[in-house]
Amino acid sequence: MTDKQIIQRLQSRDETGLAALQQAYGEGALSLALRITGSREDAQECLQDALMGVWESVPPQCPASLRAYLIALTRNAALDLLRSERREKRGGGAAELALEELSDFVSGPDSVEQEAEARLLGERINGFLGALSPRDRELFVRRYYYFEELPEIAAACRLPKRYVSVVLHRTRKKLKAFLIKEEFL
């Protein structure tokens, strides 16, 4: 079933649209949630929360990419769960370690003003990422959006682990310099 067909079913409140969405993109979303939470049960709960979010938001939303939309909702659900329960002992800390690597110059919002600033920061980071080479951008997104481990990234991109580590380190330094220039630090 195509994304367009799935969206049509969701818009007509046909639950088979949710089943088709889960069949098409659920495994990738579940994998991401599992990397973040470290618990299959928690990951499945996050996926179910994301599917419910899709059900509640389509309509009126009509996402351009159902895959990206489901991944984003699942990622947010998993990060919310991680933040609320601080599951480092169960999850091995992979997501927390990735977030910690960026925490010196990127943190979450605590107030309305900080939330607005966080949105602006997100826009600036997207601009920064757009200026990177496709390879560097892919490595950065795999590590800090999908929370993939270095060996996993290296294997998927067919690069040495040390190379991936160096590129990510240099990219973090570039991001920090960029954020200082943009007066976010």
- Indicate whether 44 and 82 sit together in one domain: yes
pLDDT tens for residues 53-76? 999 998 888 888 999 999 999 999
Among 40, 69, 92, give the residue marking a domain's end: 92
- CATH number where 146 lies: 1.10.10.10
| HEC profile of 19-57 | HHHHHHHHHHHHHHHHHHHCCHHHHHHHHHHHHHHHHHH
- CATH number where 11 lies: 1.10.1740.10
Domain region containing 62: 3-92
- Indicate whether 115 and 174 sit together in one domain: yes
Share of the chain above pLDDT 90, in %: 65
- Give the whole-angstrom CA distance, residue 64 versus residue 170: 32
pLDDT tens for residues 18-57? 999 999 999 999 999 999 999 999 999 999 999 999 999 9
pTM comes to 0.71
- Indicate whether 86 and 7 sit together in one domain: yes
Tell me how many domains the chain contains. Answer: 2
- Indicate whether 69 and 132 sit together in one domain: no
Among 92, 122, 143, give the residue marking a domain's end: 92
- Give the whole-angstrom CA distance, residue 118 versus residue 103: 13
- Indicate whether 37 and 108 sit together in one domain: no
